[in-house]
Structure 1
Amino acid sequence: MQATNTLPLDMVYHWEATKADSLYLTQPVGNDQVVEYTWGRAVDEARRMASYLKSLNLPEKSRIGLISKNCAHWIMTDWTIWMAGHISVPLYPTLNAETVNYILNHAECDVLFVGKLDDWEMMKPGVPDSVRCISFPLSPPNDFETWDDIIARCSPLEENVQREPEELATIVYTSGSTGKPKGVMLTFLNMAYAAEGGMEVLKVGSDERMLSYLPLAHVFERTFVELASLYAGFHLFFAESLDTFVEDMQRAQPTLFLSVPRLWVKFQQGVLQKLPQKKLDTLLKIPVVNKLIKKKILKGLGLDKVKLAGSGSAPLAGDVLDWYRNLGLELLEGYGMSENFAYSHINKPGRSRTGYVGENMPGVETKISPEGEILIKSPATMLGYYKDEEKTKETFTEDGFLKTGDVGEIDEAGRLRITGRMKEIFKTSKGKYIAPAPIENQLMANQSIEQVCVSGANQTQPFALVQLAEGVRDKVADEAYRKELETTFSQLVDRVNKTVDPHEQLAFIVVMSDEWTIENNFLTPTLKLKRNVVEDTYEGKINDWYAQRKKVIWQ
């Protein structure tokens, strides 16, 4: 695949010129009401706001912050910042004040767009007084200048501002499971290459529909939703809230749908609470009923029109993948990082293999280092980390490959399998190394478990901390149910231990009563477990757990 010259703003101007009256964005605003934006209206509002930003006479290529849940104005603001000649800096809408302050100061943001947020009061103290704030129509109450007032009084920017391929387009601060977030510098070329390569592989057209609900501050949603809609020209819908998610799905009737492993598991568990697996298996064996049941389940999830479903951001257990595929939904896993704009590997329809994240995307080169680390190179790979030359140098090999930090192997068909993280691999007191991910995936196949962390550095054998699925958590107060679950988990440990090497066999499972959430810092904004936080939190209890000599421990 050749490097592209069609940059994101070129696509904005293209749709403005060719389908100004076609619907592009559908934004719910409460009480079953929506506001709809045609391409013409969306670009006009972005041009007016760009005109305003230019009137502020900010230094050239200023960093402009954007903190909001997904909404139509998020997309328009990205364009606005680029049209005004600046660099967009998205912030996750779930950050605490300390991290908000760190990013705004580190990026030296002059302006911050404040949008749809649930915890603005918690974040607000992190915004420096020197930062000029502009609020979206759906933002929490504030005394900032508003989007609607500004565009009402500003004339649209008339010129089609062009940006160079190698210019910095955005700085994406990694959600990071450890330490301070790093600012990943991505160019317009990085973005364009990933978007066009994605379209080529997935064969996406202008008649698709997508629901945007995973954080746009994350590259997964930015590449395969924002940029995909921009390059293919399809209709984008937004979710109002978690409570209205089913209605939002029914409104969008998506033909493409992306999610992260934790949510795919939650959707599955929701189905199985109403229709237990044994009953489902029985019904699926009846030829007359089989198709009706599959259709009913997918329709209930809002996935009955989906022709392409994807999962990314973290590994998804093979049993869950197979469960969806058994319903007729070919769920395709992909792989990517902030550092390569989520553009790396994907399973292709009809060529997927359970447990593998797929083949190289167009223009991607992959090799495995002598230590087993996955190394990747493509035109979508970042310039480096903002204001951190040392970390940038450490992250690349001498021949320009990105060190992913992941351990893996490639099969005979060129499909990549990730076997663990370099940093997550730990050593037992016997000097044996353990990669926790494969063991965690086996445990996650149990429907009663929602999250798992396998640990045990410097111990004789590893152990697993598990968090129960939502419906199961409510039932464990019943002693008979709890005993039954304990027997199930004891058998699960035995089954898993038969499939792994002796040094990898689990000593016990600890069933946690604590909930691991974004709010209490156990999860990243993309719902990945922060392993270091989990291990630090429970470190003082480990010796007591081993001393109990039980296979299942209730914490």
Structure 2
Amino acid sequence: MQKTNRLPLDMVYHWEATKANSVYLTQPVGDGKVVEYTWARAVDEARRVASYLKSLNLPENSRIGLISKNCAHWIMTDWAVWMAGHISVPLYPTLNADTVNYVLNHAECEVLFVGKLDDWDMMKPGVPDSVRCISFPLSPPNDFETWDDIVAKYPPLEEKVQRDPDELATIVYTSGSTGKPKGVMLSFRNMAFAAEGAMEVLHVGPDERMLSYLPLAHVFERTFVELASLYAGFHLFFAESLDTFVEDMKRAQPTLFLSVPRLWVKFQQGVLHKLPQKKLDTLLKIPVVNKLIKKKILKGLGLDKVKLAGSGSAPLANDVLDWYRNLGLELLEGYGMSENFAYSHINKPGRTRTGYVGESMPGVETKISPDGEILIKSPATMVGYYKDEEKTRQAFTDDGFLKTGDRGEIDEMGRLKITGRMKEIFKTSKGKYIAPAPIENRLMTHQSIEMVCVSGANQTQPFAMIQLAEGIRPKVSDGGVRKELEESFTKLVENVNKTVDPHEQLAFAVIVTDDWTIENNFLTPTMKLKRDVVEDAYESKVNEWYAQHKKVIWQ
């Protein structure tokens, strides 16, 4: 099924010709004001920036970095990079300087677009002096060349650039098991196949409205927001900030809305704070009041116009899914990875099953390996990992299926259930990958620690479980020693959190009093910690620990 779909730039030129004066992007610029970009204006600015990039005489397929929160210029930069014959390399707008430096050096980026950022001062030291930087209108203060000056100075690139389907379109950096990000190489064919398949499944058209606020550096937003809007031709709105989110929602009145588990839970908690569950249940049982209450709640959340709501990036608790469905909002979960451009599985309206992530999307083959691993194959699957042939080889089976690293099972209707992880790496509820080993290694520098296990799958932030060194354990009954240890571990957590990316920062450390030994099955015969055994042993206590809001907890 290797047909050549319409490529992203084909769609850019299509809407430029057919919807030139229709508004495509609505960008808040502060104080309640917005700037609107028609298709004609957006494509014209992209063409001008492409001219500028061409004038730099970079080698073909040069990697161009892009670090910014979501905004209209993020989308236009992607187009400009492609028009100029290059490859876009998005960076998360929350990375620390070390990770920024690693990505820019590994990808050999010669140019970096710098946009809306909350902590540019933290990231700036990671940008090599050799990298030419360009500033978006909403970027922090800097002395870089500006987007507006480039647009004013350079003529639009007149040609309709055609890229080869198998050329690289983007390199998406995602956490690896070593903690160093891996560069997932995605071609124009990968992108096009995923976009057209998503259109086929979701049945969306040019009259939709969508709010873009989850990071565009993540494939979930890239596929189902950037590419979906480009292929369907619908109106895309951007959020200004968390503080203005309610106003941004009211402005957009989205008909499609995607979020991650953490936000769906926050929305739910906000409702239940005003209307406790017991009272809500009572009101929903009254026939006349039932519909009014549901409508009022959804309107308060800005979701009353939504016809299709989705959750992705990490699993959503079954009771939260059921809560929204009881309000008449059928939340559809999906499943995907950076390595397949988030194009894998999705629940279909009327065919959902709680706890399952849905059926294979068009053109996706799914099977379960003999040891329970979910294996995926489709034309949306990555070309490989940038500069890493060995990891690329390891990522695929001999017959070309992508090894997802997740365990799963498939029901009689072809719906997939994720039952666990093949590897230690885990995802938070924000959809971010955590490699526990590097964090554990940092914690193990403390002389009072014998063993440590970093966990937190599907939680907002990871946490650490610590077993004290054998000589320290008998002394913790002494109040003075205990207090001293608590202060020391509090400082340790703070110091470790300064060295990792925001999504890797520990919420707390738990001092466990159980012995982790070979005899009680916590350790292998070679004294390695059995992570799954440790996690299972304390699973029932995890929510209680988070609820304590302490940096150090004694268990």
Q: Which residue of 2 aligns with 1:204?
A: 204
How far did residue 466 of structure 1 move?
11
CA shift in 2, pair 1:175/1:468, >3 Å: closer
Q: Is the 8 A contact 1:177 1:524 kept in 2?
A: no
Aligned 8 A contact 2:96 2:500 in 1: no
- Contact kept? 1:345, 1:358, Cα under 8 Å: yes
| Shift, 1:463, TM fit | 12
Give the C-alpha shift of residue 60 in structure 1: 1.1
1:89-488 map, 5 Å: 89-175=89-175, 179-424=179-424
C-alpha displacement of 1:538 = 3.2
Which segments of structure 1 move beyond 4 Å, counting only runs of 4 or more?
Answer: 175-178, 462-470, 519-525, 549-554
CA distance in 2, matches of 1:206, 1:15: 11
**How big is the shift at 1:28?**
0.2
Query: Contact (CA 8 Å) 1:407, 1:421: kept in 2 or not?
Result: yes
In structure 2, distance between residues paired with 1:311 and 1:123:
30
Query: Structure 2 regions of 5+ residues with no counterpart?
Result: 430-435, 437-449, 462-488, 517-537
Secondary structure at 1:293 match in 2: helix
Q: TM-score scaled by structure 1?
A: 0.80
Verify the 8 A CA contact 1:467 1:513 in the aligned structure 2: no
User: Alpha-carbon deviation of 1:59?
Assistant: 1.0
Q: Which residue of 2 aligns with 1:11?
A: 11
Contact 1:3–1:379 (8 Å) recurs in 2: no
CA 1:467 to 1:404, structure 2 compared with 1: closer, same or farther past 3 Å? Answer: closer
Structure 2 CA distance for partners of 1:371 and 1:301, relative to 1, 3 Å: same
Whole-Å separation in 2 of the counterparts to 1:219 and 1:171: 11
> For each residue in 1:116-146, what CA deviation from the matched residue of structure 2 results, as whole angstroms up to 9, or x when unmatched?
0000000000000000000000000000000
Task: Tell whether the 8 Å contact from 2:2 to 2:379 is kept in structure 1 after alignment.
Answer: no
Q: Distance in 1 between matches of 2:293 and 2:455?
A: 35
User: Are residue 34 (structure 1) and residue 34 (structure 2) matched?
Assistant: yes
Task: Give the paired residue count.
Answer: 473
C-alpha distance in 1 between matches for 2:229 and 2:278: 40
Task: Mark the CA change 1:241 to 1:295 in structure 2 (over 3 Å): closer, same or farther.
Answer: same
- Counterpart secondary structure, 1:73: helix
Report the 3-state secondary structure (helix = DSSP H, G, I; strand = E; otherwise coil) of the residue aligned with 2:512: helix
User: Partners in 2 of 1:380 and 1:521 — Cα distance?
Assistant: 37
Q: Aligned equivalents of 2:265 and 2:43: distance in 1?
A: 38
Question: 2:197 & 2:150 partners in 1: Cα distance?
Answer: 37
Measure, in 2, the Cα distance between the counterparts of 1:468 and 1:60: 42
The structure-2 alpha-carbon separation of the partners of 1:524 and 1:545, relative to structure 1 and needing over 3 Å to count, comes to: farther
CA distance in 2, matches of 1:379, 1:468: 32
1:467–1:223 Cα change, 3 Å: closer
Distance 1:37 1:400 in 2: 42
What secondary structure is seen at the aligned counterpart in 2 of 1:237?
A: strand
2:360 and 2:415 in contact (8 A); partners too: yes
Q: Distance in 2 between matches of 1:394 and 1:468?
A: 29
Cα drift, residue 423 of structure 1: 1.7
Is the contact made by 1:176 and 1:524 (CA closer than 8 Å) also made in structure 2? no
Q: Distance in 1 between matches of 2:267 and 2:280?
A: 15
Offset at 1:543?
2.6
Q: CA 1:403–1:370 in structure 2 vs 1: closer, same or farther (change >3 Å)? A: same
- 1:57-68 aligned at under 5 Å gives the runs 57-68=57-68
Q: Counterparts of 1:124 and 1:19 in 2: how far apart (Å)? A: 39
The answer (yes or no) to whether the contact 2:97–2:127 under 8 Å persists in 1 is: yes
**What CA distance in whole angstroms lies between the structure 2 residues aligned with 1:513 and 1:128?**
34
Aligned with residue 543 of structure 1, among 500, 504, 513 = 513
Cα gap change, 1:6 to 1:464, in 2 (>3 Å): closer
Q: Secondary structure of 2:66's partner?
A: strand
Quick one: which amino acid aligns to residue 339 of structure 1? E
Residues 534 and 55 (structure 1 numbering): CA distance in 2 closer, same or farther, change over 3 Å? same
